[in-house]
Amino acid sequence: MERMTTFFDIVGRVSWLLAVVAKLLIGMLILFVVSDVLARNLGMRALTWAISASEYSLLYITFLSMPWLVRIKGHVFVVFLRGLLPPAGRAALEKLVYLACIVLCLYLGWIAASSLSVALAKGTYETRTFDMPKWAVFLPIMLGFGLSALEWLRYLLTPVSMYDIDPTEMEGM
């Protein structure tokens, strides 16, 4: 049990670190947009790379923050059906939800990993205002889904429950 706790602590630290990177990317994204708008309003050339950089930043922000949001219960979840069930039914539904989330994350992570592998093997690029290696597009998706699966597994295998908090307490997070 101690090894499992240590493992999930490490997963939590990695999830937190990726969320920090996502926060930094949000700051950079704001700077990209403000710089581009400012340049245009001052009659200077638009920062053509800013649009592509913003799009890639949004991809990274979404998937790098996803595992941390699962860990801190900062994602959207519905509780109305659970509230209608007796305690045994709630527990069963909870485990079913965790399993479904694990399977979905592993499946989508596997697709991203397969696409990343193909992109690495072929050396393909996504061409916009600047070239981006396609593997770099699939990397945050694979990381996000892979670590999210581990966060859901933590809920399944430990006494921690995503339902041990009132969802209204997380509003406005």
Digit-by-digit pLDDT tens for the chain (173 residues) are 789 999 999 999 999 999 999 999 999 999 999 999 999 999 998 888 888 999 999 999 999 999 999 999 887 767 777 778 899 998 999 999 999 999 999 999 999 999 999 999 999 999 888 899 999 999 999 999 999 999 999 999 999 988 887 666 655 55
Please check whether residue 162 is in contact with residue 72, taking contact to mean a CB–CB distance below 8 angstroms. Answer: no
For 154, the domain range is: 1-169
Comparing C-alpha atoms, which of 134, 140, 139 is closest to residue 122? 134
Residue 123 tokens, joined: 């050396």
- In this prediction, residue 53 carries a pLDDT of 92
Helix (H/G/I), strand (E/B), else coil: 82: helix
* 144/11 Cα distance (integer angstroms): 12
Structurally, the chain folds into a number of domains equal to: 1
- Burial of 100: CB neighbours in 10 Å, binned 0-12, 13-18, 19+: exposed
- Tell me the pTM: 0.89
For 18, residues 6+ apart whose C-beta sits below 8 A from its C-beta are 64, 65, 67, 68, 143, 144, 147
Side-chain-facing half-sphere of 104: CA atoms under 13 Å: 9
